[in-house]
Protein backbone atom coordinates (compact mmCIF):
# COMPACT_ATOMS: atom_id res chain seq x y z
CA UNK A 1 0.00 0.00 0.00
CA UNK A 2 2.82 2.41 0.78
CA UNK A 3 4.38 1.94 -2.63
CA UNK A 4 1.21 3.09 -4.38
CA UNK A 5 -0.17 5.00 -1.43
CA UNK A 6 -0.83 8.72 -1.40
CA UNK A 7 1.41 11.11 0.51
CA UNK A 8 0.12 14.20 2.28
CA UNK A 9 1.23 16.45 -0.58
CA UNK A 10 -0.53 14.28 -3.16
CA UNK A 11 -3.79 14.26 -1.19
CA UNK A 12 -3.52 18.02 -0.66
CA UNK A 13 -3.26 18.82 -4.36
CA UNK A 14 -5.65 16.08 -5.45
CA UNK A 15 -8.43 17.76 -3.51
CA UNK A 16 -7.32 21.29 -4.41
CA UNK A 17 -7.09 20.57 -8.15
CA UNK A 18 -10.53 18.96 -8.11
CA UNK A 19 -12.15 21.92 -6.35
CA UNK A 20 -10.47 24.75 -8.24
CA UNK A 21 -12.33 24.59 -11.50
CA UNK A 22 -14.87 26.47 -13.53
CA UNK A 23 -16.97 27.73 -10.62
CA UNK A 24 -14.48 30.29 -9.38
CA UNK A 25 -14.61 32.22 -12.68
CA UNK A 26 -18.32 32.99 -12.40
CA UNK A 27 -18.71 32.95 -8.61
CA UNK A 28 -18.25 36.73 -8.11
CA UNK A 29 -21.12 37.35 -10.55
CA UNK A 30 -23.43 34.74 -9.02
CA UNK A 31 -22.76 35.64 -5.43
CA UNK A 32 -23.26 39.35 -6.18
CA UNK A 33 -26.99 38.78 -6.69
CA UNK A 34 -27.42 37.58 -3.12
CA UNK A 35 -24.56 38.73 -0.88
CA UNK A 36 -23.54 41.85 -2.82
CA UNK A 37 -20.38 43.46 -1.49
CA UNK A 38 -20.30 40.92 1.35
CA UNK A 39 -19.70 38.06 -1.09
CA UNK A 40 -16.16 37.52 0.18
CA UNK A 41 -17.58 36.97 3.68
CA UNK A 42 -19.93 34.33 2.26
CA UNK A 43 -16.96 32.49 0.76
CA UNK A 44 -15.12 32.48 4.08
CA UNK A 45 -18.22 31.11 5.84
CA UNK A 46 -18.52 28.46 3.13
CA UNK A 47 -14.97 27.38 3.92
CA UNK A 48 -15.84 27.10 7.62
CA UNK A 49 -18.97 25.06 6.88
CA UNK A 50 -17.04 22.83 4.51
CA UNK A 51 -14.46 22.22 7.23
CA UNK A 52 -17.24 20.88 9.46
CA UNK A 53 -18.39 18.57 6.65
CA UNK A 54 -14.83 17.31 6.13
CA UNK A 55 -14.56 16.61 9.85
CA UNK A 56 -17.71 14.46 9.71
CA UNK A 57 -16.29 12.63 6.68
CA UNK A 58 -13.11 11.96 8.63
CA UNK A 59 -15.03 10.59 11.63
CA UNK A 60 -16.70 8.08 9.32
CA UNK A 61 -13.62 7.13 7.31
CA UNK A 62 -11.30 6.55 10.25
CA UNK A 63 -13.69 3.90 11.60
CA UNK A 64 -13.12 1.90 8.40
CA UNK A 65 -9.49 2.63 7.46
CA UNK A 66 -9.12 -0.32 5.09
CA UNK A 67 -12.47 -0.09 3.32
CA UNK A 68 -13.39 2.01 0.31
CA UNK A 69 -16.41 4.27 0.60
CA UNK A 70 -18.68 1.97 -1.49
CA UNK A 71 -17.65 -0.92 0.79
CA UNK A 72 -18.53 1.15 3.85
CA UNK A 73 -21.95 1.84 2.36
CA UNK A 74 -22.77 -1.83 1.73
CA UNK A 75 -21.37 -2.84 5.13
CA UNK A 76 -23.60 -0.43 7.06
CA UNK A 77 -26.89 -0.60 5.14
CA UNK A 78 -26.68 -4.01 3.50
CA UNK A 79 -25.75 -5.31 0.08
CA UNK A 80 -28.86 -4.28 -1.85
CA UNK A 81 -29.49 -0.83 -0.35
CA UNK A 82 -25.76 -0.14 -0.36
CA UNK A 83 -25.44 -1.08 -4.03
CA UNK A 84 -28.38 1.18 -4.86
CA UNK A 85 -26.72 4.09 -3.02
CA UNK A 86 -23.45 3.44 -4.85
CA UNK A 87 -25.28 3.56 -8.18
CA UNK A 88 -26.73 6.92 -7.13
CA UNK A 89 -23.19 8.08 -6.35
CA UNK A 90 -22.10 6.85 -9.77
CA UNK A 91 -24.85 8.82 -11.51
CA UNK A 92 -24.03 11.89 -9.43
CA UNK A 93 -20.37 11.82 -10.48
CA UNK A 94 -21.28 11.36 -14.16
CA UNK A 95 -23.81 14.21 -14.04
CA UNK A 96 -21.40 16.50 -12.22
CA UNK A 97 -18.61 15.71 -14.69
CA UNK A 98 -21.02 16.46 -17.53
CA UNK A 99 -21.96 19.80 -15.95
CA UNK A 100 -18.31 20.81 -15.45
CA UNK A 101 -17.46 19.78 -19.00
CA UNK A 102 -20.48 21.63 -20.38
CA UNK A 103 -19.50 24.88 -18.67
CA UNK A 104 -15.87 24.46 -19.71
CA UNK A 105 -16.79 23.89 -23.36
CA UNK A 106 -19.12 26.88 -23.35
CA UNK A 107 -16.35 29.08 -21.94
CA UNK A 108 -13.85 27.90 -24.55
CA UNK A 109 -16.38 28.40 -27.33
CA UNK A 110 -17.11 31.99 -26.25
CA UNK A 111 -13.53 33.11 -25.55
CA UNK A 112 -11.14 31.04 -27.67
CA UNK A 113 -12.62 28.58 -30.18
CA UNK A 114 -15.39 30.59 -31.79
CA UNK A 115 -15.94 28.47 -34.93
CA UNK A 116 -14.95 25.04 -33.61
CA UNK A 117 -17.98 22.72 -33.26
CA UNK A 118 -18.99 21.80 -29.74
CA UNK A 119 -18.55 18.06 -30.32
CA UNK A 120 -14.95 18.54 -31.45
CA UNK A 121 -14.02 20.49 -28.30
CA UNK A 122 -15.77 17.92 -26.11
CA UNK A 123 -14.04 15.01 -27.84
CA UNK A 124 -10.57 16.53 -27.54
CA UNK A 125 -11.05 17.28 -23.84
CA UNK A 126 -12.43 13.81 -23.08
CA UNK A 127 -9.63 12.04 -24.93
CA UNK A 128 -7.11 13.84 -22.73
CA UNK A 129 -9.11 13.21 -19.56
CA UNK A 130 -9.60 9.54 -20.43
CA UNK A 131 -5.86 8.98 -20.84
CA UNK A 132 -5.19 10.24 -17.31
CA UNK A 133 -8.29 8.82 -15.59
CA UNK A 134 -7.48 5.34 -16.90
CA UNK A 135 -4.25 5.40 -14.87
CA UNK A 136 -3.80 4.27 -11.28
CA UNK A 137 -4.79 6.64 -8.51
CA UNK A 138 -1.23 7.36 -7.39
CA UNK A 139 -0.29 8.32 -10.97
CA UNK A 140 -3.25 10.69 -11.19
CA UNK A 141 -2.34 12.23 -7.83
CA UNK A 142 1.31 12.73 -8.81
CA UNK A 143 0.26 14.43 -12.03
CA UNK A 144 -1.95 16.77 -10.00
CA UNK A 145 1.07 17.68 -7.89
CA UNK A 146 3.17 18.26 -11.02
CA UNK A 147 0.72 20.71 -12.58
CA UNK A 148 0.08 22.51 -9.30
CA UNK A 149 2.72 25.03 -10.39
CA UNK A 150 0.09 26.34 -12.83
CA UNK A 151 -2.10 27.39 -9.90
CA UNK A 152 0.62 29.64 -8.59
CA UNK A 153 1.24 30.93 -12.11
CA UNK A 154 -2.44 31.83 -12.39
CA UNK A 155 -2.33 33.64 -9.05
CA UNK A 156 0.75 35.48 -10.30
CA UNK A 157 -1.12 36.60 -13.43
CA UNK A 158 -4.01 37.82 -11.31
CA UNK A 159 -1.64 40.07 -9.33
CA UNK A 160 -1.40 42.20 -12.48
CA UNK A 161 -4.95 43.31 -11.70
CA UNK A 162 -3.59 45.57 -8.97
CA UNK A 163 -2.47 47.92 -11.75
CA UNK A 164 -6.18 48.60 -12.40
CA UNK A 165 -8.23 51.21 -10.52
CA UNK A 166 -9.72 49.74 -7.34
CA UNK A 167 -12.18 51.20 -4.89
CA UNK A 168 -11.81 49.93 -1.33
CA UNK A 169 -15.13 51.57 -0.57
CA UNK A 170 -16.91 48.84 -2.56
CA UNK A 171 -16.66 46.44 0.40
CA UNK A 172 -18.09 48.89 2.92
CA UNK A 173 -20.13 48.96 5.06
CA UNK A 174 -19.41 45.39 6.11
CA UNK A 175 -22.51 43.26 6.57
CA UNK A 176 -24.70 45.73 4.72
CA UNK A 177 -26.63 43.01 2.86
CA UNK A 178 -27.69 41.29 6.09
CA UNK A 179 -27.03 37.87 7.59
CA UNK A 180 -29.73 36.15 5.53
CA UNK A 181 -28.24 37.22 2.20
CA UNK A 182 -24.71 36.38 3.35
CA UNK A 183 -25.88 32.85 4.24
CA UNK A 184 -27.56 32.53 0.83
CA UNK A 185 -24.22 33.51 -0.69
CA UNK A 186 -22.54 30.87 1.46
CA UNK A 187 -24.88 28.24 0.06
CA UNK A 188 -24.12 29.36 -3.50
CA UNK A 189 -20.38 29.35 -2.83
CA UNK A 190 -20.37 25.72 -1.69
CA UNK A 191 -22.35 24.47 -4.66
CA UNK A 192 -20.62 26.57 -7.29
CA UNK A 193 -16.99 26.86 -6.31
CA UNK A 194 -16.28 24.12 -3.74
CA UNK A 195 -17.49 21.06 -5.63
CA UNK A 196 -14.91 18.29 -5.47
CA UNK A 197 -14.43 18.00 -1.71
CA UNK A 198 -16.35 14.71 -1.84
CA UNK A 199 -13.19 13.13 -3.28
CA UNK A 200 -12.05 12.89 0.35
CA UNK A 201 -14.49 9.99 0.83
CA UNK A 202 -12.50 7.85 -1.62
CA UNK A 203 -8.93 8.74 -0.63
CA UNK A 204 -8.61 7.51 2.96
CA UNK A 205 -7.78 3.81 2.22
CA UNK A 206 -4.95 4.96 -0.07
CA UNK A 207 -3.48 7.48 2.36
CA UNK A 208 -0.06 6.66 3.81
CA UNK A 209 -0.71 8.97 6.75
CA UNK A 210 -4.09 8.37 8.38
CA UNK A 211 -5.91 9.52 11.53
CA UNK A 212 -5.06 13.07 12.60
CA UNK A 213 -2.50 13.61 9.84
CA UNK A 214 -5.12 12.91 7.18
CA UNK A 215 -7.52 15.38 8.80
CA UNK A 216 -4.78 18.02 8.94
CA UNK A 217 -3.99 17.50 5.24
CA UNK A 218 -7.57 17.85 4.01
CA UNK A 219 -8.09 20.82 6.33
CA UNK A 220 -5.05 22.62 4.89
CA UNK A 221 -6.30 21.88 1.38
CA UNK A 222 -9.67 23.37 2.30
CA UNK A 223 -7.97 26.48 3.69
CA UNK A 224 -5.91 26.81 0.51
CA UNK A 225 -8.97 26.60 -1.79
CA UNK A 226 -10.99 28.92 0.46
CA UNK A 227 -8.16 31.45 0.44
CA UNK A 228 -7.81 31.44 -3.37
CA UNK A 229 -11.58 31.70 -3.90
CA UNK A 230 -11.93 34.53 -1.38
CA UNK A 231 -9.02 36.35 -3.01
CA UNK A 232 -10.58 36.30 -6.48
CA UNK A 233 -14.01 37.33 -5.20
CA UNK A 234 -12.46 40.14 -3.14
CA UNK A 235 -10.48 41.72 -6.00
CA UNK A 236 -13.51 41.47 -8.30
CA UNK A 237 -15.55 43.42 -5.75
CA UNK A 238 -12.81 46.05 -5.53
CA UNK A 239 -12.57 46.45 -9.33
CA UNK A 240 -16.27 46.33 -10.27
CA UNK A 241 -19.13 48.12 -8.63
CA UNK A 242 -22.27 46.15 -7.76
CA UNK A 243 -24.08 47.02 -10.96
CA UNK A 244 -21.21 45.96 -13.24
CA UNK A 245 -20.44 42.82 -11.26
CA UNK A 246 -24.01 41.59 -11.63
CA UNK A 247 -23.79 42.02 -15.43
CA UNK A 248 -20.42 40.39 -16.14
CA UNK A 249 -20.71 36.60 -16.28
CA UNK A 250 -16.99 35.85 -15.83
CA UNK A 251 -15.56 38.77 -13.82
CA UNK A 252 -12.25 37.02 -13.11
CA UNK A 253 -11.55 36.77 -16.84
CA UNK A 254 -13.09 40.10 -17.77
CA UNK A 255 -10.90 42.30 -15.57
CA UNK A 256 -7.80 40.66 -17.03
CA UNK A 257 -9.01 41.64 -20.49
CA UNK A 258 -8.47 45.27 -19.56
CA UNK A 259 -4.77 44.65 -18.94
CA UNK A 260 -2.41 45.40 -21.79
CA UNK A 261 1.37 45.29 -21.76
CA UNK A 262 3.98 45.77 -24.45
CA UNK A 263 5.01 42.10 -24.46
CA UNK A 264 1.61 40.66 -23.45
CA UNK A 265 -1.52 42.04 -25.10
CA UNK A 266 -4.30 39.63 -24.04
CA UNK A 267 -3.67 38.52 -20.46
CA UNK A 268 -7.19 37.09 -20.29
CA UNK A 269 -6.50 34.58 -23.07
CA UNK A 270 -3.29 33.46 -21.40
CA UNK A 271 -5.20 33.06 -18.13
CA UNK A 272 -7.97 30.97 -19.73
CA UNK A 273 -5.43 28.82 -21.58
CA UNK A 274 -3.73 27.99 -18.30
CA UNK A 275 -7.00 27.65 -16.36
CA UNK A 276 -8.16 24.93 -18.77
CA UNK A 277 -5.85 22.48 -16.99
CA UNK A 278 -7.38 22.66 -13.46
CA UNK A 279 -10.86 22.65 -15.01
CA UNK A 280 -10.03 19.45 -16.88
CA UNK A 281 -8.65 17.90 -13.71
CA UNK A 282 -12.11 18.13 -12.17
CA UNK A 283 -13.45 16.05 -15.07
CA UNK A 284 -10.63 13.53 -14.59
CA UNK A 285 -11.46 13.16 -10.90
CA UNK A 286 -15.16 12.59 -11.49
CA UNK A 287 -14.46 10.04 -14.23
CA UNK A 288 -12.13 8.22 -11.86
CA UNK A 289 -14.43 8.34 -8.82
CA UNK A 290 -17.42 7.15 -10.86
CA UNK A 291 -15.47 4.01 -11.74
CA UNK A 292 -14.87 3.31 -8.05
CA UNK A 293 -18.59 3.31 -7.27
CA UNK A 294 -19.19 0.13 -9.26
CA UNK A 295 -18.27 -3.35 -7.90
CA UNK A 296 -15.84 -4.20 -10.68
CA UNK A 297 -12.52 -5.97 -10.72
CA UNK A 298 -9.47 -3.68 -10.81
CA UNK A 299 -8.56 -5.17 -14.19
CA UNK A 300 -11.75 -3.67 -15.64
CA UNK A 301 -10.79 -0.14 -14.64
CA UNK A 302 -9.84 1.00 -18.14
CA UNK A 303 -13.00 -0.54 -19.58
CA UNK A 304 -15.31 1.28 -17.18
CA UNK A 305 -13.43 4.56 -17.71
CA UNK A 306 -14.01 4.07 -21.45
CA UNK A 307 -17.72 3.53 -20.82
CA UNK A 308 -17.87 6.58 -18.54
CA UNK A 309 -16.15 8.72 -21.18
CA UNK A 310 -18.57 7.67 -23.93
CA UNK A 311 -21.54 8.30 -21.65
CA UNK A 312 -20.12 11.68 -20.69
CA UNK A 313 -19.57 12.57 -24.35
CA UNK A 314 -23.17 11.76 -25.26
CA UNK A 315 -24.61 13.65 -22.28
CA UNK A 316 -22.59 16.77 -23.01
CA UNK A 317 -23.09 16.76 -26.78
CA UNK A 318 -26.88 16.47 -26.56
CA UNK A 319 -27.30 18.78 -23.54
CA UNK A 320 -28.51 22.33 -24.13
CA UNK A 321 -25.70 24.87 -24.32
CA UNK A 322 -27.71 28.02 -23.51
CA UNK A 323 -27.56 29.67 -20.09
CA UNK A 324 -31.09 28.58 -19.10
CA UNK A 325 -30.38 24.91 -19.83
CA UNK A 326 -27.07 24.97 -17.96
CA UNK A 327 -28.73 26.65 -14.97
CA UNK A 328 -31.46 23.99 -14.92
CA UNK A 329 -28.85 21.25 -15.20
CA UNK A 330 -26.89 22.82 -12.35
CA UNK A 331 -30.01 22.95 -10.17
CA UNK A 332 -30.70 19.24 -10.74
CA UNK A 333 -27.13 18.32 -9.78
CA UNK A 334 -27.37 20.57 -6.74
CA UNK A 335 -30.52 18.85 -5.44
CA UNK A 336 -28.94 15.43 -5.91
CA UNK A 337 -25.84 16.59 -4.07
CA UNK A 338 -27.86 17.39 -0.93
CA UNK A 339 -28.47 13.70 -0.42
CA UNK A 340 -25.22 12.35 -1.84
CA UNK A 341 -22.78 14.71 -0.12
CA UNK A 342 -24.56 15.48 3.16
CA UNK A 343 -27.44 13.20 4.07
CA UNK A 344 -25.98 9.80 3.15
CA UNK A 345 -22.54 10.29 4.81
CA UNK A 346 -24.22 11.67 7.95
CA UNK A 347 -26.63 8.70 8.13
CA UNK A 348 -23.74 6.30 7.63
CA UNK A 349 -21.78 7.99 10.41
CA UNK A 350 -24.72 7.74 12.81
CA UNK A 351 -25.30 4.08 11.90
CA UNK A 352 -21.62 3.25 12.45
CA UNK A 353 -21.82 4.58 16.00
CA UNK A 354 -25.22 3.06 16.79
CA UNK A 355 -24.13 -0.36 15.55
CA UNK A 356 -20.60 0.14 16.87
CA UNK A 357 -19.13 -1.14 13.63
CA UNK A 358 -15.61 -0.72 12.34
CA UNK A 359 -13.63 -2.47 9.62
CA UNK A 360 -11.85 -4.59 12.21
CA UNK A 361 -15.12 -6.38 12.91
CA UNK A 362 -15.53 -7.38 9.26
Of the two residues 352 and 256, the one the predictor is more confident about is 352
pLDDT band at 120 (very low <50, low <70, confident <90, very high): very high
Of 174, 154, 192, 169, give the one whose Cα is nearest residue 240. Answer: 169
CA distance 101 to 106: 8
Please say if the pLDDT value at position 123 is more than 90.
Answer: yes
Q: With pLDDT > 90 as the criterion, what percentage of the chain qualifies? A: 28
CA distance 331 to 326: 9
Say what the pLDDT of residue 1 is. Answer: 44
pLDDT band at 362 (very low <50, low <70, confident <90, very high): very low
Say what the pLDDT of residue 168 is. Answer: 83
149-185 pLDDT, tens per residue?
Answer: 888 888 887 887 787 888 888 888 888 888 888 888 8
Contacts of 200 (CB under 8 A, 6+ apart): 15, 54, 57, 58, 61, 218
284-327 pLDDT, tens per residue?
Answer: 999 999 988 877 656 678 888 999 999 999 999 998 888 888 88
329-352 pLDDT, tens per residue?
Answer: 888 888 888 888 899 999 999 998
Residues in the chain: 362
Amino acid sequence: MKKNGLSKVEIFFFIAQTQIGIGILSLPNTIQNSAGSDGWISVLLAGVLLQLILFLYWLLLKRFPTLSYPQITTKLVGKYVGTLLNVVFYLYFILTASLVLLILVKLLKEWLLYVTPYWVIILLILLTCFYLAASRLHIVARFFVLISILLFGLIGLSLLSFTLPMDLGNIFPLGETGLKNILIGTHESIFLSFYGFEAVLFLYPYAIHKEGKFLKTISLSNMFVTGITTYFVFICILIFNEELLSQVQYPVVYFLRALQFQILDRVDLVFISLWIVPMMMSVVTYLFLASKCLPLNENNHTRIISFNSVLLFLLTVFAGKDDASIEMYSTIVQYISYGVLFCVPLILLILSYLRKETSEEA
